[in-house]
């Protein structure tokens, strides 16, 4: 129990240190953002569609990783050079691959990714329809009592009355 408490204390310290460094990074970020509102607006628009490669579940717009900072600076440069959105994305894809795009291009390699879920849904629906039909026709056809069954039932009923 004491070792658990010690560990909890230690974790708290680590968390505190992490929060401290995050704060300082954020402060630096704010200074950069103020430069040119038009460029910043386009930067945010583009970088929301791009993945930060260090923290892979964050967009380039929201990540505070050092590399994301550099890449945002690079995108700013390209915006000032009047490059189009697709040119800027192309620039990053040639360096980091399709993985930087949050919305991967539709091409043969990504067909499974784009259409796979719909195919699975379709397979599920077809399977369900098939199953339900089979069950329906099965229940109406099979469970009719034979002559033999009826006779047995009658006998049981009668014997039940007797005593």
Partner 1 sequence: MKKFLIPLAMFFGLVIFLAVGLNRDPHEIPSPLVGKSAPAFSLHTLDPNAPLFGPQDMKGKVWMLNVWATWCVACREEHPVLVAFSKANQLPIVGLSYKEIQAQDEPAGRKLSPEEKLQMARERSTLWLKRHGNPYVLSALDLDGRVGIDYGVYGVPETYLIDKEGVIRYKRVGVVTPELLQSTILPLVQKLNAS
- Residue ranges in contact with partner 1 by CB under 8 A: 28, 53-54, 56, 66-67, 70-71, 74, 93-99
Asked if residue 35 lies in contact with residue 75, where contact means CB atoms within 8 angstroms, the answer is: no
Residues with Cβ within 8 Å of residue 88, at least 6 apart in sequence: 46, 75, 78, 79
Q: Note whether 47 and 63 are within 8 A (CB).
A: no
Closer CB to partner 1, 12 or 124, in the complex:
124
Q: Which is nearer to partner 1, 43 or 71 (CB)?
A: 71
* CB of 107 or CB of 158, closer to partner 1: 107
DSSP state of 162: -
- Tell the smallest beta-carbon distance from residue 69 to partner 1 (Å): 9
Q: How far is the CB of 97 from partner 1 (least distance, A)?
A: 4
* End-to-end Cα separation, the chain, in angstroms: 72
Are the C-beta atoms of 50 and 65 separated by less than 8 Å? no
CB 95, min distance to partner 1, A: 4
Shortest distance in whole angstroms from residue 161 CB to partner 1: 40
Nearer to partner 1, 42 or 51 (CB): 51
């Amino acid at each position: 129990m004491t070792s658990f408490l010690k560990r909890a204390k230690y974790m708290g310290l680590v968390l505190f240190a992490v929060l401290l460094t995050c704060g300082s990074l954020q402060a630096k970020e704010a200074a950069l953002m103020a430069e040119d509102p038009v460029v910043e607006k386009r930067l945010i628009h583009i970088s929301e569609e791009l993945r930060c490669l260090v923290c892979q579940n964050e967009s380039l717009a929201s990540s505070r990783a050092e590399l994301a900072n550099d890449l945002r600076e690079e995108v700013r440069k390209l915006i000032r050079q009047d490059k189009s959105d697709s040119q800027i994305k192309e620039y990053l894809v040639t360096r980091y691959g399709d993985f930087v795009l949050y919305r991967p291009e539709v091409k043969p390699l990504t067909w499974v990714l784009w259409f796979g879920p719909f195919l699975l849904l379709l397979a599920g629906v077809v399977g369900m329809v098939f199953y339900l039909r089979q069950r329906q026709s099965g229940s109406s056809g099979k469970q009719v009592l034979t002559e033999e069954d009826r006779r047995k039932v009658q006998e049981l009923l009668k014997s039940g009355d007797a005593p």
